[in-house]
Chain A
Amino acid sequence: MIEIKDLHKSYKMGSNSLHVLKGINFKVEEGELVAIMGSSGSGKSTLLNILGMLDGADSGEYTLDGVPIKNLSETKAAQYRNKFLGFIFQSFNLINYKSAVENVALPLYYQKVPRKERQEKAMQYLERVGLKPWADHLPSELSGGQKQRVAIARAMAAEPKVLLADEPTGALDSKTSYEVMDLIQKINDEGNTILVVTHEEDIAHMCKRIVHLKDGVIVEDKKVEQVRAEQYV
């Protein structure tokens, strides 16, 4: 699904440049649930941004579902993001003046899905994350866990190839974190490919594979025995 070869990325900081990613190679197959771990500054967020086409790499190859991602214009990148990727952010990033269902429907709006169909689909996904009764609530009327579930529904609404979660539990208490991870695991069980960036061990062990990043290189890449989050809920 995802294939990365010899990826380099550096940021210019005044006169000297900061080499963040120093040749990353890895592959993610369809249906995998991968945790990307590392301390802050290890380059994991940069990697995720490049994977999410929010940022470009300096050199190296990136193929997503057989499509080479290179030298994208802003417009093309936006279209690919919409088609291939679903984002889940640490701070949820819901649009605060739109109701839950409108938030979920937003990626479908950019896919030019007709209004009625969009509404129906958004409702379906809200139901899947168990928030159908909250459809017309504004984000400010939802709890943190509920917000993240709306965000997950939104990420899935466009039926992307890959879900990218950037510290999805970073702003949540542990009980809610497990609820969210339970949801993510269930989505993965249905065959969706998911990448989770985290620095929490327990969250990482709820994935099927852990990739350790340190100083811009992968230091460890191992399959793990998945801990089901269900038992903690």
Chain B
Amino acid sequence: MWLFDKDLWIEIFHTLGKNMFRTFLTMLGVIFAMIILVLLLGSANGMSNGFNKIFAGTASNSLFVWGQSTSEPYKGFERGRRIRYKLEDAEILKKQIPEIEVLAPRIELASHRGTVSVYRNGQTSGSAVYGDYPEIDNITKKKLVEGRFLNQTDIDYSKKVCVIGEETYKLLFEKGEKAMGEEIRINGVYFTVVGIYKPNNNINIDGENAVFIPFSTFQKAFNSGDRMGWMAIAVQESTPVSFVESQIKTILKAKYDIHPDDERAIGSFDMSEIFNNITAFTTVLQGFSFFVGIFTLLAGVIAISNILLITVKERTQEIGVRRALGATPVIVKRQIVLEAIVLTAFAGLVGFAVAVGILSIMNSMWGSGDNFPFVQPMISIPQFVISFILMVGLSVLIGLLPANRAVKIKPIDALREE
């Protein structure tokens, strides 16, 4: 096959090599274009990874439901009535909506987002206090620094244990002080610390200054009866969250005599919406990077074509001689197109290598994603393959321009030109 003909390649490298400086200048455009493309794509990927890291530990297909006040009078009730759920609602919802995978009821001391005072040895912190089921860990994962999260035994025996946030630990304990097994006091009830969790850049619905105690313990300690504050719900992967959300609302509205059109009575937050928005954002960002990069690349390849056009003009006599000696138009064309491909491919690889180097430096400097969403900026192999194929494809198309120019030169005109 002609592609493996050693002489063909010798011819090509001979031609390119005889004018190193010009060859290098020609490649510069593509080198920079490739650097820009890879940096853009890599950064977009880094950003996407960064957001993924933020969402790690949060079930994306989940929602939260809590009670608010009615905004419509209904069935003899006045507007402004506070909706308070009962623990039985959890069972009802789970039974009636099979798409619900996990439902973790929660109750909190004081009002929503409110805090209560937590004491220990004369130190105080204003923390949120939640009564939870261990299932909540399947929806918003806690990153534990020490100890464990709540478990079923805690619920079954209504153990007086708690898991506290790192922020709470800092407020209640001295630096480096052992917290595990120590007791803290909430509303006059003592709880033993069994775990400390750490803020981890994730979406943190519960805040970092919070105390988690078993739901059953909460009921007994604070006499909350069968009340339930809110529900964290994970929905099956295949089901849209909004579908389950409306079902839940319909059931709850019927149960609590809420006007069917009352939008305010039941508060809910669809996690998947944010997730989808961010996914859409990063996808658009990646697409845009690719778009910009490819056009930069196109400009670079056109520069190569331009230089080759000039080269063809300069080589008119040489091409004439070659054709007089028996080079067919196909041979002449092939050589020039291959020159374009070799130049582009080589320049592309150089640019790629440089860009990957820059990305690794960026990665080692900011890649941990601690301050902003930027984790492991690097382009994927398919992205690289696609860019490379596109680049070489473009160079073939663009190489045909000078190649056709070369073929149009009649050997007789070429030889006459002195």
- A residues contacting B by CB (< 8 A) are 49, 52, 54-55, 74-75, 78-79, 81-83, 87, 89, 91, 93-98, 106-107, 109-111, 115, 154, 158
Contacts and interface: CB of A to CB of B under 8 A. Distances in A.
Contacts of A87: 324-325
In the complex, the 4 A-B pairs of residues with the closest C-beta atoms, listed nearest first: A82-B326, A110-B326, A54-B412, A78-B328
Given A54-B324, A54-B412, A78 B7 contact: no
A55 B416 CA distance: 12
Given A55-B412, A109-B7, A81 B324 contact: yes
A74 B329 contact: yes
By CB atoms of chain B within 10 A, which of A75, A87, A93, A110 has the most?
A: A93
Contacts of B326: 78-79, 81-83, 107, 110-111, 158
B142 interface: no
Contacts of A83: 326
Interface in B297-349: 317-318, 320-331
Contacts of A109: 7
B329 A115 contact: no
A107 B325 contact: yes
A115 B330 CA distance: 21
Contact of A110 (B317, B320, B327, B415): B327
B418 interface: yes
Interface string B377-418: 000000000000000000000000000000100111001001
Interface of B: 6-7, 14-15, 18, 317-318, 320-331, 407, 410-412, 415, 418
Nearest to A110: B326
Nearest to B416: A45
Contacts of B412: 49, 54-55
A75 B14 CA distance: 24
Given A78-B329, A94-B321, A97-B14, 6 more contacts: A55-B410, A78-B323, A106-B325, A110-B325, A110-B327, A110-B328
A159 B412 CA distance: 22
A177 B351 CA distance: 54
A67 to B, nearest CB: 16
Given A54-B411, A91-B418, A98-B14, A154 B325 contact: yes
Main secondary structure of the interface of B (DSSP, over half): helix
A143 to B, nearest CB: 19
Contacts of B15: 97
A109 B327 CA distance: 9
Nearest to B418: A91
Nearest to A95: B318
Contacts of A81: 323-326
Contact of A78 (B14, B18, B318, B327): B327
B155 to A, nearest CB: 84
B322 A52 contact: no
A52 B324 contact: yes
A115 B14 contact: no
Contact of A89 (B322, B323, B415): B415
Nearest to B331: A110
Given A78-B323, A106-B322, A93 B317 contact: yes
A54 B7 contact: no
Given A54-B410, A91-B418, A93-B415, A82 B325 contact: yes
Contacts of A52: 324
Contacts of B328: 74-75, 78-79, 110
A95 B317 CA distance: 9
A85 B410 CA distance: 17
A20 to B, nearest CB: 13
Nearest to A78: B328
A97 B321 CA distance: 13
Given A54-B410, A109-B7, A97 B415 contact: no
Contacts of A54: 324, 410-412, 415
14 contacts: A52-B324, A54-B410, A54-B411, A78-B329, A79-B326, A81-B323, A83-B326, A87-B324, A93-B321, A94-B321, A95-B322, A107-B326, A110-B326, A110-B328
B330 A75 contact: yes
Nearest to B10: A115
Contacts of B325: 81-82, 87, 106-107, 110, 154, 158
A172 B245 CA distance: 96
By CB atoms of chain A within 10 A, which of B14, B323, B324 has the most?
A: B324
Nearest to A98: B14
Contacts of B330: 75
B34 to A, nearest CB: 29
A87 B326 CA distance: 11
A100 B185 CA distance: 98
B219 to A, nearest CB: 91
A118 to B, nearest CB: 8
